[in-house]
């Protein structure tokens, strides 16, 4: 998604704008630009592609100015090129925007008839012409901005600067996050704490509908009713050091290898390893009275929710409905009075999940969110918070956050089951012990990374891959397929193994790779039967299993990925690791952009 930075500094700031944009690269983008005010003129530099292209442009044609804005663009309207790159500008105002202006065509037509000339194909450019229209009518910069916001429909985070005023930056948010950074006689504006982490850790977050005016000595906030308000200053926990790659070639591999550590860090926030007693934070709800849990999320977070469904129904005996956010928010599903609705989101900014949360709130649901960013919008709009301790996840493909979500959901399951007197003390200790061993088991699996790398080297000419599993590993088949497709661009699909005969087995022909996730357990034999069905039709099978009872099948499969034996409860967490590594190594072997795959963004803040 797009990234925004704004700085009111003491000296020329073009390099600082570029550095701020570097901290936003992880969000995914396809063009970038900066603009400053100098001598009452707007100076702009924009470039298609990666930030290095913009840096070269600024080096060739430096710009002065101690006040400016910058942007990394993830294209929604208009191809990624310099013309469509932000900042967009007239001679009076320059703006950067994250979100979608849904009524931009109407505004564009109206202003076009009045002689305003649009240069780009973007929705965002309508903002600067609309503001210019109000300036031409004699309104002040703030009035022109405020009037324009009243016309805009859709989601936005906007930062803008005026050629008539080299002392102020304005910002506004509706749907997409925006943060103010407080410096020493300098002020900052950014999409998130990461954007500002080079400059400050003192952050204020705009609330929905806020407008902010920054000057060197501070920030003035107005809420959506136009009332002047105060916004708290919080200490951001974002540490720029954490966003380094260390000795790893890619963030994704670093984050895969961080899992033993961050899973331990996450566990420590939920229970005391010494006595294995779980201590969930107060969620503001009496779990004993919960009759149904509704889980809503996107992508990998949705698959974590599917695993939680298996766990909560099997161990806590509470019914669970899981839905993807973009469907839930429009389905108007009947929700039980005072039901518990759980929103899972690594970034805490996913637009569809945030919209679903607001729908659930309107249905008087109790809102709990499971996020990796405490200061995120989803966290701040929830009644209860389950915070994972995965640290900043930079790679677009979620890995460590996904397994930390599972750990938190496993702890939540036990806590819910104990509250409802379904899980007794012995079972609680048994399940908690299994979770506490996950970190070391994952470290063991990572020791065997080379066995997985060798498999991936044979995927260079593959165009279709199937993942199959049953029970609580079925969502891991879905997750494995998502990992592979999003970083290697190979078409891959996950199926419930029992579903193969209902259609998907038609995809099997000689040489099609099928990855079978089959831990020993109640469904193992059935999954092996499904595996034999695809072997009989020529599939190249990779089986991921802890079983040593394959017998002569070990001659019929292509590869065996051996897994440690653990309590079935934690299999979904452990079996996530090999599917992450397969995706990573295949992507690297195919020369894909592992950390910033094409077309993808780390945080999808537009619907």
Q: At CA 96, angle to CA 395 and CA 393, rounded to 5?
A: 15
| In the complex, least distance from residue 294 CB atom to ligand AGP, rounded to whole angstroms | 16
CA 347 to chain centre: 4
Stretch of residues binding ligand AGP (CB under 6 A), selected from 53-61, 125-133, 342-350, 570-578: 342-350
What strand order describes the sheet that includes 41-48? Answer: 41-48, 31-38, 67-73, 3-8, 187-190, 179-182, 202-205, 234-235
If one asks whether residue 396 binds ligand AGP (CB under 6 A), the answer comes out as: yes
Among 14, 90, 197, 398, binds ligand AGP (CB under 6 A): 398
| In the complex, least distance from residue 588 CB atom to ligand AGP, rounded to whole angstroms | 16
Beta bridge partners of 228: 222
**Closer CB to ligand AGP, residue 399 or residue 436?**
399
| In the complex, least distance from residue 215 CB atom to ligand AGP, rounded to whole angstroms | 33
Residues 6+ apart with CB under 8 A from 66: 8, 9, 10, 11, 12, 13, 36, 166
If one asks whether residue 604 binds ligand AGP (CB under 6 A), the answer comes out as: yes
Rg (alpha carbons) of the chain, rounded to whole number? 25
If one asks whether residue 179 binds ligand AGP (CB under 6 A), the answer comes out as: no
Choose among 607, 603, 606: nearest CA to 195.
Answer: 603
Longest CA pairwise span in the chain (Å): 84
Stretch of residues binding ligand AGP (CB under 6 A), selected from 153-161, 250-258, 295-303, 359-367: 295-303
Stretch of residues binding ligand AGP (CB under 6 A), selected from 250-258, 293-301, 470-478, 529-537: 293-301
**Closer CB to ligand AGP, residue 17 or residue 407?**
407
Q: Is 582 helix (H, G, I), strand (E, B) or coil?
A: helix
* Assigned token pair, 534: 């695809």
> To which residue do tokens 């039967």 refer?
529
Q: Are 400 and 262 in contact (CB under 8 A)?
A: yes
If one asks whether residue 360 binds ligand AGP (CB under 6 A), the answer comes out as: no
Alpha-carbon distances, residue 180 vs 161, 226, 234, 265 (angstroms): 15, 18, 10, 29
**Closest residue by beta carbon to ligand AGP:** 299
Handedness of CA 420, 421, 425, 426 (dihedral sign): negative
Q: Are 491 and 464 in contact (CB under 8 A)?
A: yes
* Assigned token pair, 71: 């942007």
| In the complex, least distance from residue 397 CB atom to ligand AGP, rounded to whole angstroms | 4
If one asks whether residue 25 binds ligand AGP (CB under 6 A), the answer comes out as: no
**Closer CB to ligand AGP, residue 212 or residue 406?**
406
| In the complex, least distance from residue 536 CB atom to ligand AGP, rounded to whole angstroms | 33
Q: Is 562 helix (H, G, I), strand (E, B) or coil?
A: strand
| In the complex, least distance from residue 360 CB atom to ligand AGP, rounded to whole angstroms | 15
Report the run of H or E that residue 598 belongs to, with start and end. Answer: none
Q: Is 156 helix (H, G, I), strand (E, B) or coil?
A: strand
Q: How far apart, in whole angstroms, are the C-alpha atoms of residue 598 and residue 407?
A: 30
The helix-helix angle for 259-270 and 438-447 (nearest 10°) equals 180
Stretch of residues binding ligand AGP (CB under 6 A), selected from 156-164, 178-186, 393-401, 460-468: 393-401
Is 2 a residue of the active site? yes
Alpha-carbon distances, residue 194 vs 4, 28, 197, 320 (angstroms): 11, 14, 5, 35
Site for ligand AGP in 457-516 (CB under 6 A): 486
Stretch of residues binding ligand AGP (CB under 6 A), selected from 62-70, 160-168, 344-352, 509-517: 344-352
| In the complex, least distance from residue 337 CB atom to ligand AGP, rounded to whole angstroms | 27
Stretch of residues binding ligand AGP (CB under 6 A), selected from 42-50, 273-281, 341-349, 561-569: 341-349
If one asks whether residue 346 binds ligand AGP (CB under 6 A), the answer comes out as: yes
Among 8, 51, 94, 397, binds ligand AGP (CB under 6 A): 397
If one asks whether residue 199 binds ligand AGP (CB under 6 A), the answer comes out as: no
**Closer CB to ligand AGP, residue 200 or residue 603?**
603
Q: Is 543 helix (H, G, I), strand (E, B) or coil?
A: strand
If one asks whether residue 580 binds ligand AGP (CB under 6 A), the answer comes out as: no
Stretch of residues binding ligand AGP (CB under 6 A), selected from 99-107, 346-354, 525-533, 568-576: 346-354
Is 404 a residue of the active site? no
If one asks whether residue 353 binds ligand AGP (CB under 6 A), the answer comes out as: yes
If one asks whether residue 259 binds ligand AGP (CB under 6 A), the answer comes out as: no
Among 84, 259, 347, 428, binds ligand AGP (CB under 6 A): 347
Q: At CA 443, angle to CA 437 and CA 448, rounded to 5?
A: 130
Out of 309, 441, 540, 602, the active site residue is 602
Phi, psi of 393 (to 5 degrees): -105, 110
| In the complex, least distance from residue 299 CB atom to ligand AGP, rounded to whole angstroms | 2
| In the complex, least distance from residue 570 CB atom to ligand AGP, rounded to whole angstroms | 21
* Assigned token pair, 604: 């999808």
What torsion do the CA atoms of 256, 258, 264, 270 make, to the nearest 10 degrees? -70
Stretch of residues binding ligand AGP (CB under 6 A), selected from 2-10, 55-63, 294-302, 459-467: 294-302
**Closer CB to ligand AGP, residue 47 or residue 397?**
397
Mask: binding to ligand AGP, 301-320, rule CB under 6 A, as x and -? x-------------------
**Closer CB to ligand AGP, residue 167 or residue 327?**
327
Q: How far apart, in whole angstroms, are the C-alpha atoms of residue 10 and residue 477?
A: 53
**Closer CB to ligand AGP, residue 324 or residue 553?**
324
Q: Are 197 and 238 in contact (CB under 8 A)?
A: yes
Residues 6+ apart with CB under 8 A from 551: none
Q: Are 311 and 569 in contact (CB under 8 A)?
A: yes
Among 124, 350, 413, 492, binds ligand AGP (CB under 6 A): 350
If one asks whether residue 587 binds ligand AGP (CB under 6 A), the answer comes out as: no
Please confirm whether the linkage preceding 41 is cis (ω < 30° from 0).
Answer: no
| In the complex, least distance from residue 482 CB atom to ligand AGP, rounded to whole angstroms | 6
Q: Is 464 helix (H, G, I), strand (E, B) or coil?
A: strand
| In the complex, least distance from residue 603 CB atom to ligand AGP, rounded to whole angstroms | 6
If one asks whether residue 299 binds ligand AGP (CB under 6 A), the answer comes out as: yes
Binding site for ligand AGP (CB under 6 A): 298-301, 345-347, 350, 353, 396-398, 486, 603-604
Active site residues: 2, 602
């Amino acid at each position: 998604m797009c990234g925004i930075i704004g700085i009111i500094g003491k000296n020329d700031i073009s390099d600082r704008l570029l550095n701020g944009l570097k901290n936003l690269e992880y969000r995914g983008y396809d063009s970038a630009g900066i603009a400053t005010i100098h001598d009452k003129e707007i100076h702009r530099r924009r470039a298609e592609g990666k930030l290095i292209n913009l840096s070269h442009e600024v080096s060739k044609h430096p710009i002065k100015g101690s006040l400016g804005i910058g942007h990394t663009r993830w294209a929604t309207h208009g191809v990624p090129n310099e013309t469509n790159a932000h900042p967009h500008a007239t001679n009076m105002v320059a703006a950067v925007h994250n979100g979608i202006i849904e009524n931009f065509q109407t505004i564009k037509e109206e202003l076009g008839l009045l002689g305003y000339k649009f240069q780009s194909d973007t929705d965002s450019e309508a903002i600067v012409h609309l503001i210019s229209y109000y300036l031409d009518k004699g309104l002040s910069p703030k009035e022109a901005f405020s009037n324009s916001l009243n016309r805009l429909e859709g989601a936005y985070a906007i930062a803008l600067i005026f050629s008539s005023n080299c002392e102020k930056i304005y910002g506004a948010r509706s749907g997409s996050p925006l943060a103010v950074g407080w410096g020493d006689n300098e002020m900052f504006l950014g999409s998130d704490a990461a954007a500002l982490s080079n400059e400050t850790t003192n952050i204020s977050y705009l609330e929905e509908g806020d407008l902010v005016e920054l000057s060197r000595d501070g920030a003035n906030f107005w809420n959506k009713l136009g009332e002047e308000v105060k916004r708290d200053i919080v200490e951001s926990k974002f540490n720029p050091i954490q966003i380094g790659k260390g000795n790893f070639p890619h963030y994704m591999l670093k984050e895969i290898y961080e899992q033993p550590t961050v899973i331990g860090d996450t566990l420590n926030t939920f229970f005391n390893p010494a006595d294995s007693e779980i201590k969930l934070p107060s969620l503001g709800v009496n779990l004993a009275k919960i009759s149904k849990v509704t889980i809503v999320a996107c992508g990998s977070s949705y698959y974590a929710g599917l695993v939680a469904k298996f766990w909560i129904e099997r161990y806590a005996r509470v019914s669970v409905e899981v839905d993807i956010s973009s469907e839930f928010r429009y389905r108007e599903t009947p929700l039980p009075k005072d039901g518990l609705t759980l929103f899972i989101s690594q970034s805490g900014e996913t637009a569809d999940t945030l919209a679903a949360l607001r729908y659930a709130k309107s249905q008087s649901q109790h809102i709990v969110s499971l996020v990796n960013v405490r200061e995120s919008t989803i966290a701040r709009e929830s009644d209860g918070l389950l915070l994972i301790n995965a640290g900043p996840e930079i790679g677009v493909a979620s890995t460590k956050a996904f397994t930390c979500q599972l750990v938190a959901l496993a702890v939540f399951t036990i806590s819910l089951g104990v509250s409802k007197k379904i899980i007794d003390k012995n079972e609680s200790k048994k399940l908690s012990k299994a979770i506490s061993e996950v970190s070391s088991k994952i470290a063991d699996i990572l020791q065997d990374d080379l066995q997985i790398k060798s498999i991936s080297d044979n995927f260079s000419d593959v165009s279709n891959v199937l993942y199959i599993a049953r029970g609580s590993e079925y969502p891991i088949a879905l997750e494995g397929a998502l990992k592979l497709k999003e970083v290697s661009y190979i078409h891959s699909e996950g199926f419930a193994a029992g579903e193969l005969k209902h259609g998907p087995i038609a995809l099997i022909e000689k040489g099609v790779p099928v990855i079978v996730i089959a831990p020993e357990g109640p469904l193992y034999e059935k999954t092996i039967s499904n595996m034999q069905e695809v072997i009989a039709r020529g599939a190249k099978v990779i089986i991921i299993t802890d079983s040593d009872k394959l017998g002569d099948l070990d001659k019929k499969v292509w590869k065996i990925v051996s897994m440690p034996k653990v309590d079935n409860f934690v299999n979904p967490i452990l079996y996530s690791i090999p599917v992450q590594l397969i995706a990573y190594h295949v992507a690297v072997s195919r020369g894909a952009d592992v950390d910033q795959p094409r077309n993808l963004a780390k945080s999808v803040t537009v619907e």
